[in-house]
Amino acid sequence: MFHNVIQVIPYEDYSVYVYFEDGKIVCYNAKPLLEKKGFAPLRDQNFFMNACTILNDTLAWDVSGHRDASTCIDIDPDMLYSLDPAIEKIA
């Protein structure tokens, strides 16, 4: 089964609320990624907040700024879906 992401909302604490098409909502904590070399762009909070999007039907950060799915940082949607459901956070 494919778990398509339909909305993502990043927060300044490096968490992202991820909304799936079946109604499930999870909160993804991206802080552990900040220490990994491949995720270095995420350390810039401005980039983290503004480049956060949906590419490849999942949570991603648009590295090139051209919505090129081949140059994004994306998170496995199955892993995201396996997270415990979250209560929607009012922005």
Domain coordinates of the chain in residue numbers?
Answer: 5-81
Instruction: Indicate whether 89 pLDDT > 90.
Output: no
Cα-based angle 88, 62, 37 (whole degrees, multiple of 5)? 95
Contact 5, 59 (CB under 8 A): yes
Instruction: Indicate whether 46 pLDDT > 60.
Output: yes
| Secondary structure of residue 12 in the 3-state scheme | coil
Arithmetic mean of pLDDT, 44-53: 97
Q: Which letter does DSSP use for residue 85 in this model?
A: B
**Which fold, 5-81?**
NE0471 N-terminal domain-like (3.30.2020)
Q: What is the pLDDT of residues 52-81, one digit of tens each?
A: 999 999 999 999 999 998 899 999 999 999
Instruction: Indicate whether 30 pLDDT > 90.
Output: yes
Q: Where are the extended beta strands (E) located within 1-91?
A: 5-10, 15-20, 25-29, 52-55, 58-61, 73-74
Arithmetic mean of pLDDT, 30-42: 95
Instruction: Indicate whether 91 pLDDT > 60.
Output: no
